[in-house]
Amino acid sequence: MNQSSKIYVAGHTGMVGSAIWKNLKNKGYKNLIGRTIQELDLINCQAVDKYFQEEKPEYIFLAAAKVGGIVANNIYRGQFIYENLMIQNNIIHNAWKHGAKKLLFLGSTCIYPKEAPQPIKEDYLLSSPLEFTNEPYAIAKIAGIKMCESYNLQYNTNFISVMPTNLYGPNDNFQLDNSHVLPALLRKIYLAKCLEDKNWSAIKNDLNKRPLKNVSGKDAISSILNVLKEVGVFNEKQKPSVEIWGSGKPMREFLWSEEMADACVFLMENVDFIDLIKIQSKKTGTKNEIRNSHINIGTGKEISIKDLAFLIKMRIGFKGELIFNTNKPDGTMRKLTDVSKLNSLGWHHKIDINEGLNKFIDWYVNS
């Protein structure tokens, strides 16, 4: 890529896409294009075809996706597999059809088997069954990896895939019915702290920005208390508390979203599919079977959900109780990525969970 290349960031307003957009801007790329979901429905084949025909992007970051946490993945199973397959199929196919020079497809480490050995190497893909709660989403992302590999092999395209670990950062999703664990914990503990301090102006401001189940800061205090109790931020004893799904024992790896973006731009600038074939061929000793060309993006470090929750509690200053509901599912117990391939290509993370959490809390409270 050069600074005048036309670069399309699909999903540029979301957490992942906005971080990539910001990174590109900061590095001097001037010809960025993007469309909101209102402007371009990526599920619509004809609309995506028309967009590519008109814009003819040279480089594409495919960051658009239907995403959510364990609750959303388990409830909206049909939506997650259908919408993700349609989005990525339309963009990858039209990138080839309209002659894009390169595409980077973003997946997720949930593509790996539930009982994968730890840390998880790229080679563990499709080696055993997936975690049930997010199986539809994972299958869609696996299909995206295989579509990129298959187009490369048949059409000589230059499409690469990256699998980021759990991400957090600016523009994250804080809707408690479908958010990931870290933003959900942050928001719930923040609201509980506000309740503890009887800071109703902060609570109302938070709900005005992000209503909970159609309840905003303009509603009556009784309605606000009811919805906070429903989402696990106010208990039956009429005290601020935070309910957390599962035992708190699962271990998770977290990466600051802006570092993920830096890794993606680095790979787009420096690594081609042919480089990944060489790595795989050297490892397996065969050139006949090209698979697992994707790249893990992570830190290689993990923390338990329980320790994470208490860390957020300490940083926010909440003094109330954290309640771990063991009647709810834990999900996969460990999902630590092996990032040796990424490191060998020349990129290493710098921001650990302590620094990242401080940045995240500051962004949420002040955004």
Let me know if 294 is exposed, middle or buried by CB neighbors in 10 A (0-12, 13-18, 19+): buried
Predicted model pTM = 0.92
The Cα 163–Cα 276 span in angstroms is 14
- What DSSP element (H or E) covers 222? helix 221-230
State residue 89's pLDDT score. 98
Longest dimension (CA), the chain: 67
137 classed as catalytic: yes
Beta bridge partners of 104: 61, 160
Contact 14, 64 (CB under 8 A): yes
Q: Structural domain boundaries of the chain? A: 7-171+253-302+334-353, 181-249+304-325
Residue found under tokens 């009811």: 226
pLDDT at residue 287, rounded to an integer? 67
Query: Among the options 8, 29, 124, 137, which is catalytic?
Result: 137
Instruction: Give the integer Cα–Cα distance in Å for 133 and 240.
Output: 29
Q: How far apart are CA 288 and CA 335, in angstroms?
A: 30
Is 304 in contact with 248 (CB distance < 8 Å)?
yes
Which portions of the chain are predicted below pLDDT 50? none
Q: How far apart are CA 232 and CA 244, in angstroms?
A: 8
Structurally, what CATH architecture does the domain formed by 7-171+253-302+334-353 represent?
Answer: 3-Layer(aba) Sandwich (3.40)
CA distance to 41, 94, 117, 132, per residue, from 53 (Å):
15, 9, 44, 39
Q: Please list the residues that pair with 296 across neighbouring strands.
A: 163
How many Å apart are CA 351 and CA 233, to the nearest integer?
30
